[in-house]
Amino acid sequence: MSLDQIDFEVYLETPSMDHYRVDWVPRPGVQLSGMWVPAVVTGASGQDYLGVRGWSDFIVGMTHTVSPFCGFRALQPSLNGDPPHLFVEYSKHDWFEPYQYVDRGDGVALTYDSGRLHRDEAGCHWYDADGRWELHGETISKIFVVHVPEQEGIDREVYYRHELLRAHGTVDGDTVGGYLHQDFAYGPPGTTYTDLPIARLLEGMWVSWIHEHTDGSVGGGCFWQGRDELEFGPGYLLRDGETTAHRDVHADLSLNQDGKPYAMQVEIGGEIFRFDLDTTAGPLHYFGRLASATTGDDVARSWCWIEYAQGLLSPEILDAAGERFALVRAAQR
């Protein structure tokens, strides 16, 4: 099916503790359909790391640890590589763990055999059960929300929310800094993220980034680009401590002879950002740095993450990948 245009809305919310409670939803009638806490950080050693974990994004009440896209990797500069998982158990078969949710009023926690995720007023805290990493993120943006309602060609609505967090901690004994983000998806009861239209029909590319200026201030953003020629450009920009939401973000990729992106130009909020990309982590994810921006050239450090789906996301592929969950998901309904 080809979509020519799509109706959607974007808006911002000021983060509060209630946003991280399991019963928070953007409107009555939808449910949490997935949550993620990815981290892109750099160690004092100079090593870059990627950590990704999802909760309830395939099976409600379960967190998964490996898959092609999750786990914890030591990134290696190459657009053709497959960087190794940092810890051996994350290099083999995917496995799922049940998690428990605890609300203590001033904070909430998701606990599971291999670790814990805690959220309080100070931020987000991600711990490995064996002490191999500990990451702490402080929210620096407002919460951005995009809502795609039911419409012609879209039979299920979806809400997606995102926020940027400045991160610090340790990974395998290496003191690190960089960024985290927290993503949440919401859809009709009984759905998880791969059932919903952003992944199935709309996404051509997803991008998030953060940059630090020499004076210690930070900026960044996150946005989508529509599949093929679809005009779908929701996103937000963090600049001078203010978050602004936009409907018309535009990005152009430069591809090498293998079809891999090595540079990107982004127009958002009247600003132009140019990124250089030099690292990959599997078939969808690319990483790089902010090379220049109309906001100034005093950027000290930056991290950019791109999910460039190409033809690897489609209803057929997602349904085939989710077939192994059919029995357990049917039992949950």
pLDDT values of the chain reduced to their tens digit, one per residue, 333 residues: 457 789 999 999 999 999 999 999 999 999 999 999 999 999 999 999 999 999 999 999 999 887 777 789 999 999 988 888 888 888 877 889 999 999 999 999 999 999 999 999 999 999 999 999 999 999 999 999 999 999 999 999 999 999 999 999 999 999 999 999 999 999 999 999 999 999 999 999 999 999 999 998 999 999 999 998 899 999 999 999 999 999 999 999 999 999 999 999 999 999 999 999 999 988 889 999 999 998 777 899 999 999 998 777 888 888 888 888 888 887 777
Let me know if residue 4 belongs to a domain: no
Let me know if residue 3 belongs to a domain: no
Mind listing the pLDDT tens digit for each residue in 105-133?
999 999 999 999 999 999 999 999 999 99
Q: How many domains does one find in the chain?
A: 1
Let me know if residue 88 belongs to a domain: yes
Which residues span the domain enclosing 204? Answer: 9-17+29-332
Tokens of 272: 């132009």
Let me know if residue 167 belongs to a domain: yes
Let me know if residue 246 belongs to a domain: yes
Let me know if residue 23 belongs to a domain: no
Q: Are 12 and 142 in contact (CB under 8 A)?
A: yes
Let me know if residue 143 belongs to a domain: yes
| DSSP annotation of 322 | H
Nearest-angstrom CA–CA distance, 179 and 209: 8
Q: Are 265 and 251 in contact (CB under 8 A)?
A: yes
Let me know if residue 242 belongs to a domain: yes
H/E element, 197: helix 197-197
Q: Report the 10 Å Cβ neighbour count for 106.
A: 8
Going by C-alpha positions, the residue among 261, 239, 241, 237 that lies closest to residue 249 is: 237
Rg (CA), the chain: 19
